[in-house]
Amino acid sequence: MQTFQIATIPGDGIGPEVVAEGVKVLDAVSALDGSFAFDYTEFPWGCEYYLREGEMMPADGIERLSGFDAIFLGAVGYPGVPDHVSLRDLLLRIRHDFDQYVNVRPVRLLKGAPCPLAGVDAADIDMTFIRENSEGEYAGSGAWLYRGTPREVVIQDGVFSRHGTERIIRYAFELARREGKSVTSISKGNALNYSMVFWDQVFEEVASEYPDVETHSYLVDAASMLMVRDPGRFEVVVTSNLFGDILTDLGAAIAGGMGLAAGANLNPERAFPSMFEPIHGSAPDIAGRGIANPLAMVWSASQLLDHVGQGAWARLVLGAIERVLVDGTCLTPDLGGSASTAEVGDAVVKAIQAMHAEGEIG
């Protein structure tokens, strides 16, 4: 029996509510398979911890996470703790210190999921965003001079290294080549005359190594319009940290909503653990009511399964999410239903068990 060591960080707001359902699904899968299991260690870090302890995680937090096979995180951030403290000291710290430089965010309209776009073929919403996740606009470099005086000056640097830019673009090309898809770069060279001109140049250089892969390049403003008007033209998409953050919330909006948007923060070299988390936040407006949609977290669990070498189960879990969506009788309020978070988790488990019994895997 192979046992995967998973660090869970339920975090804030709806984080704990959705992590519980993700764990439920992972356990259902391992029980059906029988050849592997998950062993969880929960870390109670987040905003409540901060208010008690004065820090988002202990000083040796990163070290304590470093031995795990994967990190399963709910959400971080809550009113009462400034976002730039809570996120920088926990979520962004983990992404950065574990060099999780690839943020894979599927924007795929699953069967049965609602789509607000008129005149768009639902099958055309099938993109994989490869968001640069280690530097760029999120590098945390800058200065605040003459603070609080009339001479106040604030500088926030965008940091684009050749190493960082090349590796994320190359990751996108490798993925596209494997899957027979095109790569689209999204940048803003017409205004950001250093960082994005450099990004475009590196994109062209790397593209020349992949003559078999079709490429497109759009400015971020036009790209956001095209994602709504003509999403079918996007397949593998590579973009910077901030643009990827913004465009994947737009992606969520056209592909079923925040409750369905999953993400994986990968260190492809596996020198450090990777982290699996939905792209939504702690949703303070609905936290504690048991109505958060757990499907984004469950999809992230599917990405985790893929990461630990259980690709067939990963696909089955995605299929089970689609079953629950198509069935339509057990959905949370964001998808027009009246089911609770736990009921939707249970429905996914039932769908997994049914698909397994039908011989889809095992």
Q: Looking at the annotation, which residues are catalytic?
A: 146, 188, 221, 245, 249
Minimal distance, residue 265 CB to ligand NAD, in Å: 10
Nearer to ligand IPM, 11 or 273 (CB): 11
* Closest distance to ligand NAD from the beta carbon of 14 (Å): 6
* Of the candidate residues 21, 89, 132, 277, the single one contacting ligand NAD (CB under 6 A): 277
Strand duo 102-108 + 126-132: pairing: antiparallel
Q: Does 69 bind ligand IPM (CB under 6 A)?
A: no
Give whichever of 29 and 279 is closer to ligand IPM, judged by the CB atom.
279
Bridging pattern class, strands 36-42 and 264-266: unpaired
Residues 12-51 that bind ligand NAD (CB under 6 A): 14, 18
Q: For residues 91 and 295, which CB has a smaller minimum distance to ligand IPM in the complex? A: 91
Q: Per DSSP, which regions of 76-148 are E strands?
A: 102-108, 126-132, 142-145
List of residues contacting Mn ion (CB under 5 A): 245
Would you say 362 and 33 are in contact if contact means Cβ atoms under 8 Å apart? Answer: yes
C-alpha closest to that of 90 among 102, 77, 80: 77
Decide: is 262 part of the binding site for ligand NAD (CB under 6 A). Answer: no
CB of 171: closest distance to ligand NAD in angstroms? 21
Measured between alpha carbons, how far is 353 from 328 in angstroms, rounded to an integer?
Answer: 18
Among 325, 348, 334, smallest CA distance to 23 is for 348
Site string for ligand NAD, 330-349 (x = CB under 6 A): ----x---------------
Report what 282 binds from ligand IPM, Mn ion, ligand NAD, none; CB cut-off 5-8 Å by kind. ligand NAD
Q: Are 253 and 107 in contact (CB under 8 A)?
A: no
The amino acid at residue 86 is S
* 44 interacts with, out of ligand IPM, ligand NAD, Mn ion, none, CB within 5 to 8 A per kind: none
User: How far is 324 from 255, CA to CA, in rounded Å?
Assistant: 16
Half-sphere exposure (Cβ direction) of 206: Cα atoms closer than 13 Å:
26
